[in-house]
Amino acid sequence: MVTSDSPERLKKTNVGTFGLFFQGLGQEAPIAIFIGSVTGAAAFALGATPLAFIIGMLASLLSGNSIYQFSKKVAHAGGYSAYVNKGLGKALAAFTGYLYVLYELVGPAFIVLIYLWTFSGSINAVFGTALPNSVGIIYVAVALVAAFVVVFRGLRLSVLALTILGIIQFAIVFVISSILLVKSPVITTQPFSPAVAFGGWHGLFLGFITGSYGAYAGYGSVVPLGEEVKSPHKSIGRAVVLIIVIMGITYIFSSFAMVSSWGISAMSGFSNSGFPGAILAGKYIGLSSEAVVILVYNAVIFTPLVTMLTACSRMMYSLSRQDLLPKRLSRVHRKFGTPSNAVLLSTLLITLIIIVDGAIFWSSFGFQLGVFFAWIILEIIWSLSTLVIHVLVNTSLSVEAARGFRAREIFTHFVFPTAASLIIVLAISFSFQGMSMPITLAPITLVVYMLTTLGVMWLQKAKVRVLKFEDAVDLTEAS
């Protein structure tokens, strides 16, 4: 599996902006707008869900700006940790790296648990079968193994697989959404007004916090690929912007079609339906289209697993190369040029999290409620950790820019990052409102992890002081 006793370079590929777009897109999975992404936003935004996705896109572009600005200067497998190092220094860079590992470990785990929770039920609902929940366990296990194989074999195979699946999803989403819009009983501009949200602006903002903002998460997964892609100081930033804008258009158009065809006055039952896009496809197009949505949605569990596993293994590789994790994790496969030990350990840790978290809550609350608690707790940890990371990146950009202040950077390096961080702080504060046990275990777990990380860093303080990021791609080379 490994090549030598010393760390080596990751394999350079010809993957550029287009490939990175589909690689990052894997975490968002366009088809999920019919089932998962839209329900969180619609729970509060109701008929104004399309407007919530517009606000979500604008907020994501504010955070994406920080990545765009840093990507022009830094390309590193450490991703966000290298960005934070530029402005906030080595200690917070190391902290960011450890926190990012947690983020990319619990992400795949909660996604697997979601599919475990819904797989058999969704198939049974469409095809009239009676599959037991154990079939879902087998399915998600196969999906995780498939993702491991693809990531282990390298970025080019990953990008190829995610590009094919991404194109298929876009085609299905836009075709079905167009038909729904054409067949909608009434088409108005009301979905772009806060008046039709639950409680007006308050409900619109809650819909933004609980669904439309998080739906864009994933664009940053391309950041740790800076040492493997073509012209990273151009392609990474461009890919981030493309992911946010293209997915924004997809979310807005599809949610508008669904709200229009469902009926604004009936939106109270939209989120509780479970699979609103699939239900609408079956109602207005036919049961075969409903089956297609369900089958493709279940199939694309593979895409976020590949995207997150790739990003996690690169961060582990980077921390290992800096002697902050065991040295074996920085070894590179002779044939595939991937951090094979890091890929394997990431997969094993994800599996362990799924088994322990799932088993504890399944045994305590039964399958339906137990698995729900298991995945929602991990999802909250995932969401909060990425929000903290983005605040660190935004702050780092402003601090670094302040050292050599230039008036032309006032918006891109100060105003936009500050606005993005303020939105994130609001998102975090709303996340804690009304939280009770066992959900409260999520922030408690995150705080314990961060405190433990600080303790580990204190023990490693000699190594943290000498952290270097000169092993990043030499951006002085011609593109």
176: domain CATH number is 1.20.1740.10
CA 193 to chain centre: 28
Which residue shows structure tokens 């819909």? 207
Helix (H) or strand (E) holding 252: helix 232-262
CA gap 286, 6 in Å, rounded: 58
pLDDT, position 478: 37
* Domain-embedded: residue 349: no
* Domain-embedded: residue 324: no
CA gap 121, 395 in Å, rounded: 44
Q: What band does 9 get if pLDDT is binned at 50, 70 and 90?
A: confident
pLDDT, position 150: 97
97-125 mean pLDDT: 94
Cβ count within 10 A of residue 380? 22
* Domain-embedded: residue 303: no
CA gap 3, 127 in Å, rounded: 49
* Domain-embedded: residue 337: no
Full residue range of the structural domain in which residue 61 is found: 17-88+155-298+365-463
CA 422 to chain centre: 20
Which of 275, 331, 259 is CA-nearest to residue 45?
259
Tokens representing 40 are 């969180």
C-alpha dist (Å) from residue 172 to 9, 33, 175, 463: 39, 11, 5, 50
In this predicted structure, the answer to whether residue 434 has a pLDDT above a threshold of 70 is no
Which of 242, 324, 307, 412 is CA-nearest to residue 78?
324
pLDDT, position 274: 75
User: Which residues, other chains included, contact 170 with Cβ-Cβ below 8 Å and sequence gap of 6+?
Assistant: 30, 250
In this predicted structure, the answer to whether residue 7 has a pLDDT above a threshold of 60 is no
Tokens representing 139 are 């399915």
* Domain-embedded: residue 332: no
Q: Does residue 438 have a cis bond before it (omega within 30 degrees)?
A: yes
Which of 429, 435, 423, 444 is CA-nearest to residue 381?
444
259-274 mean pLDDT: 90
Q: What percent of the chain clears pLDDT 90, i.e. is strictly above it? A: 78
* Domain-embedded: residue 167: yes
pLDDT, position 304: 95
Q: Is 177 helix (H, G, I), strand (E, B) or coil?
A: helix
- In the chain, the N- to C-terminal Cα span, in Å, equals 32
In this predicted structure, the answer to whether residue 286 has a pLDDT above a threshold of 60 is yes
* Domain-embedded: residue 384: yes
For residue range 213-250, what is the model confidence (pLDDT) as tens digits?
Answer: 888 988 999 999 999 999 999 999 999 999 999 999 99
pLDDT, position 169: 97
* Domain-embedded: residue 178: yes
Cβ count within 10 A of residue 343? 28
Question: Do the Cβ atoms of 224 and 78 come closer than 8 Å?
Answer: yes
| Domains in the chain, number | 1
